Structure 1
Amino acid sequence: MTPNKEDYLKCVHELSQTHQKMTNKQIAEKMQVSAPAVSEMMKKLLAEQLILKDTNSGYLLSQTGLEMVANLYRKHRLIEVFLVEQLGYSPEQVHEEAEILEHTVSDHFINRLDSFLDYPTICPHGGSIPKAGQLLVERYQTTLASLREAGHYQLVRIQDYYQLLQYLEQHDLAIQDKIEVVALDDFSQTVTIQYKGKELAVPFAIAQQLYVEAV
């Protein structure tokens, strides 16, 4: 299993969370690769039975694929916790480091790291950390885009990839921030929020990757 294949499996998992039919074009945009490269890799993953074609979803992870993705997220998120708690990284800084290390460390190392960190259950971006041998089940699953009522919420999880982290940093929006949803506009495809004395119209494409809880 190469790091590139592992990244594709994570991409399929993340796109499946939007509950829209997944296309090769979406995968290419998220992975920032060419369409032919995606087509070739998806053929390989299908042949290796790591993913399955699905009429409604486009692609689904197979049971083996789900197990591999859970292990990848376990590694990535435990490394992020270590970088923040022990090395003083900020949540905005840890993703790139963890992205590299998750492909290189052993399961034995991760199990020891889990014990050293006293078995954390949530990563710095609000993602759940599965136990060894368990599938990934996210604790926070309500997206900002799925809300149907204005009101007061807390940002409790964000999908962990570079462009989204950059967007949030540019707008001074961070995990655990309290926000007020003031408008849900299906026509403009935006959710307007107020926080820290400012107002921001968040496109649905981004709001699908932000997870909230009512407060």
Structure 2
Amino acid sequence: MFHLIKLESKKNKLGWFIKGAILANIIILGFLCIIPAIENSEGIQTFKTTTEFFTISGAFVRGIFIVFAAVLISKMIIDEFKNRTILVTFSYPINRKKILSAKLILIFCMTFITMAISNIVVIVCFIGLNQIFHFTSVISFTTIDFFAEILKVIMFSLASAGAALVPLYFGMRKYSTPATIISSILIVSVTCQSVGPNFSLASIIYIPLALALIALGIVVSTIRKIDCIDLD
């Protein structure tokens, strides 16, 4: 299986994903720095607590990479079925289920790893820049608090990476890239939105966790049916 995942990685040339992740980190960090800087000049404090900062930064990162995962699903799976190039892959003496499983494992792992690393990078960079430019005075916590937040980031990233596979269902129905991307945006709106000034769905891990369980069912069902799909 590892060999198949490695081959899929080489085949799809995923360097664009890494470059996109780096650019996304820069953009997210820019937003997190610019917004409080502008609002501070107007006498408004954006981040009222450290927890609020972590929630907002995490929502930004997870939202972007859930959409990134949908793009991966489209390029690696949906487009191949739509253009029937998957027939070449299925002509190899390898079980179809293993091929599709390798693709999905690669998508999940890349989404989880980049999401977790990006969260940590954005947090650390903002804290460093805040020491210099003083965007906000509420970012204050102990080392124990920091590592507790990192653990929380990893848990949210794991659940969100699983939830990011839900668009597979919508994309495979008619091999539609737009349906895949749009469904990912809907997932972002459900998992990362705020409801009022003091409540945010982005802080509730049970939502992406529930979606991850749904995604698991979708993945299992898709893999089971792969041998029955007629591509001729």
For normalisation by structure 1, the TM-score amounts to 0.31
Relative to its length, the structure with more helix (as a share) is 2
Whose radius of gyration is greater, 1 or 2? 2
Relative to its length, the structure with more strand (as a share) is 1
Asked which structure has the greater RCO (Cα within 8 Å, sep 6+), the reply is 2
For normalisation by structure 2, the TM-score amounts to 0.29
